[in-house]
Amino acid sequence: MRRLLVYLKPYRTDCIIGPVFKFLEVVFELLLPTIMASIINNGIENRDKQYVLKMGLLMAVMAILGYMSALICQILASRASQGFGTVLRNKVFGHIMSFSVSDANNFGASTLTTRLSNDINQIQSFVAMTIRLSTRAPFICIGAVIMAFILNRRLALILAASIPVFAVIIFVITKLSAPLYKAFQMRLDDLSGTIRENIAGVRVIRAFSRNDAEKKHFSKVNTDITETGFAIGRISAVFNPLTSLIVNTVVIIILWQGAISINAGTLSGGEIIAFINYTSQILSSLLIISNLIILSIKAFASAGRIAEILETAPEDEGSREIPELDMNAPAVSFHNVSFVHNKSDELALKNINMTAFKGETIGIIGATGSGKSTFINMIGRFYKPSEGEIRIFGVPIDEFPVSTLRKMIGIAPQRAVLFSGTVADNIRFGKPDATDEEVIKAAEDAQADSFIREMPQGYDSRVSRGGKNLSGGQRQRISVARAIIGNPDILILDDATSALDFLTDSRLRKAVKERRPDQTVFIVSQRVGVIKNADRILVFDDGEIVASGKHEELIRSSDIYKEICLSQLSKEEIA
């Protein structure tokens, strides 16, 4: 939590002035019972109406001033907490955007979403309540005890004796609640992930009639979080009744002892009423403290989860200096590269050696899970080699600034991801300063221009979140247009045309090649027809390149490639 409080610095004035006004409210509130006792003892008993009116007016003025002080504190607390939440949310989101692909995958989308929303809201509420109430409750308790000692020391000792009892109860409740709140937040992550997964895969669930199974799975996750919530609720439910029991016991003892003192003539009626008021103020303050404790446990659990994000090192940006490229060197070269994913002992890539030259088209094929996508992701330095070295135009990949490297590479990913906005905005995502002519040309080369012009507003037509209002093939073609609009030196099509028919796919690849003949292109595909005419084909199997060459060579030399071809093409088409 201490690390996160640095984001309160822009609002430190509000954090200081707010409690000052809350202290003024407490002072006014603590004086009211004493004034009331004076009215009873000096005004009512002596039938002095003028005194009652004068002191009553004083009480009204003090109540108004107390109200105004509380209002100012509330405004300052709201401004500080909302501003703090905004700053922290921006900081956390920006930090998440700096994560490497592996770190983002380790956290997962659902937990990052929960931490960015629910956890920050918990901390934000804690800041607001702390400014408003953390000063009020102690001031009220301490002030009420002091005022009680001023009125009657003997009765005040009864109030003072009850404080250690409250401290023990608060300690026990905190000790029991803290681990439960941490568990609750983790189960909230599980619930969020389950909801996200089921909504995204609703078609698959219905297609395989898995509705009942997924309902049971959701019910289990939901029951887990409910049971944890019940456990927290049971502990919280005990706190308020215990507090009320102790305070009411103290009230009874004060009334009993007060009655004895009144009969003995050592205590007035006004003083016993003031005592009861101070006891009530202490009760309300203790209830506030109990709520603050519960809120603080939630906030500290959330703060730990936010700190975990902020403590995760951002992706290494590499050198700040742009290296000098050797344009005669291979565009991409792998030298004894191996890679292992986090939390795994098995190598995803094993001793990869390959070279791709400028203007060459490299086809990549292999079984699912053979390492194809991992291989091409390493070209963009989304993953760093566990062993070996990757070079781009003769320069080790680590010597590039990340922004420079990725401007040299255009990627159309396996899953076409589009953003809310217009079609033109999504294409221009690959080159923010692209002109309308460049956008149209990129769409034409990606075979997207025809269907875009048929849309209601053409290139200004809106794309819903995730491109849900477009077909799979349309999304893929826009994704390819986005990848090629910047005319990168290296283009990666990671199974990016799987939803297209062979004719459209063929036209797209031809247009891309004609667009920039010296561009090095990597095409990952499960379809032999897509990569058949590549300058060179890499065959992956179990994280290794088991064969490399042209289509005709591989048919004769690679059993794996031949088997893939026979599963998709006739003997005449293979030849």
pLDDT digits (tens, 9 = 90+) for 285-330: 777 777 777 778 778 878 888 888 888 877 766 656 777 888 889 9
User: Which position has the token pair 């006792």?
Assistant: 37
Q: 532: helix, coil or strand?
A: coil
Q: Could you give the percent of the chain with pLDDT greater than 90?
A: 20
- Average pLDDT in the 120-131 region? 86
Q: How many CA atoms lie within 13 A of 410 on its CB side?
A: 27
Q: How far is C-alpha 568 from the geometric centre of its chain's CA atoms?
A: 44
- Asked if residue 153 has pLDDT above 70, the reply is yes
Three-class HEC string of 258-291? HHHHHHHCCCCHHHHHHHHHHHHHHHHHHHHHHH
> 29 falls in which pLDDT band (50, 70, 90)?
confident
- Look at 6-10, 219-223, 234-238, 547-551 and tell me which has the smallest mean pLDDT: 234-238
Return the pLDDT at 301.
Answer: 78
Is the distance from CB of 77 to CB of 14 less than 8 angstroms? yes
Give start and end residues of each alpha helix (H) in 402-471: 402-407, 423-428, 436-445, 449-453
Return the pLDDT at 347.
Answer: 81
Q: What is the pLDDT of residues 393-422, one digit of tens each?
A: 999 998 888 888 888 999 998 888 888 889
- Look at 214-228, 440-454, 488-502 and tell me which has the smallest mean pLDDT: 214-228
Give start and end residues of each alpha helix (H) in 6-135: 12-38, 49-97, 101-107, 109-114, 120-129
Q: 433: helix, coil or strand?
A: coil
Architecture of domain 4-311: Up-down Bundle (1.20)
Return the pLDDT at 242.
Answer: 78
Strand duo 387-392 + 332-340: pairing: antiparallel
- Asked if residue 571 has pLDDT above 70, the reply is no
> 539 falls in which pLDDT band (50, 70, 90)?
very high
- Average pLDDT in the 218-236 region? 83
> 352 falls in which pLDDT band (50, 70, 90)?
very high
Query: CA Rg, the chain, in Å?
Result: 35
Q: 411: helix, coil or strand?
A: strand
Residue 103 corresponds to which tokens in the numbers above?
A: 């770190």
In a 10 Å sphere around its CB, with 0-12 CB exposed, 13-18 middle and 19+ buried, how is residue 433 labelled? exposed
Return the pLDDT at 316.
Answer: 67
Return the pLDDT at 414.
Answer: 81
Return the pLDDT at 335.
Answer: 94
> 445 falls in which pLDDT band (50, 70, 90)?
very high
What does each C-alpha distance from 466 to 1, 182, 207 come to in angstroms? 35, 32, 21
Q: What is the pLDDT of residues 491-527, one digit of tens each?
A: 999 888 888 888 898 899 899 889 999 999 999 988 8
- Asked if residue 281 has pLDDT above 80, the reply is no
CA atoms of 451 and 459, how far apart (whole Å): 10
- Beta partners for 389? 335
Residue 28 corresponds to which tokens in the numbers above?
A: 């006014």
Return the pLDDT at 200.
Answer: 66
Return the pLDDT at 319.
Answer: 58
- Average pLDDT in the 15-33 region? 83
Residue 151 corresponds to which tokens in the numbers above?
A: 């009125």
What is the chain's mean pLDDT, rounded?
A: 83
pLDDT winner (highest mean) among 231-240, 355-364, 368-377: 355-364
Within 10 angstroms of residue 574's Cβ, the number of other Cβ atoms is 15
- Average pLDDT in the 182-207 region? 74
What does each C-alpha distance from 2 to 6, 100, 128, 134, 171 come to in angstroms? 7, 26, 16, 17, 21
Give start and end residues of each alpha helix (H) in 135-210: 136-151, 153-200, 202-207
